[in-house]
């Protein structure tokens, strides 16, 4: 998996931990998934998340 932006690219192994298909009321069907980060650099991922955190 890779998390990339104009500042950096963080690459690591990941696997699908869970997945589901949902049909919400009054919305389009969608797939959702949880990802397990296997060997990610925690500091690099946290820095990426901090840059992309929505207020």
> Model-level pTM greater than 0.75?
no
**Whether pLDDT at 55 is above 90:** no
Q: If you average pLDDT over residues 25-31, what whole number do you get? A: 92
**Residue 54, pLDDT score:** 86
Segments forming the whole domain that contains residue 15: 2-52
Residue pair 32/23 in contact by the 8 Å Cβ criterion: no
Q: Which helix (H) or strand (E) holds 44?
A: helix 42-52
Query: Domain tally for the chain?
Result: 1
Task: Supply 24's token pair.
Answer: 């919400």
């Amino acid at each position: 998996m890779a998390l990339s932006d104009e500042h950096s690219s963080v690459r690591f192994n990941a696997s699908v931990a869970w997945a589901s298909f949902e049909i919400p009321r009054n919305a389009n069907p969608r797939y959702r998934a949880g990802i397990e980060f296997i060997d990610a650099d925690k500091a690099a991922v946290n820095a990426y998340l901090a840059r992309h955190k929505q207020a």
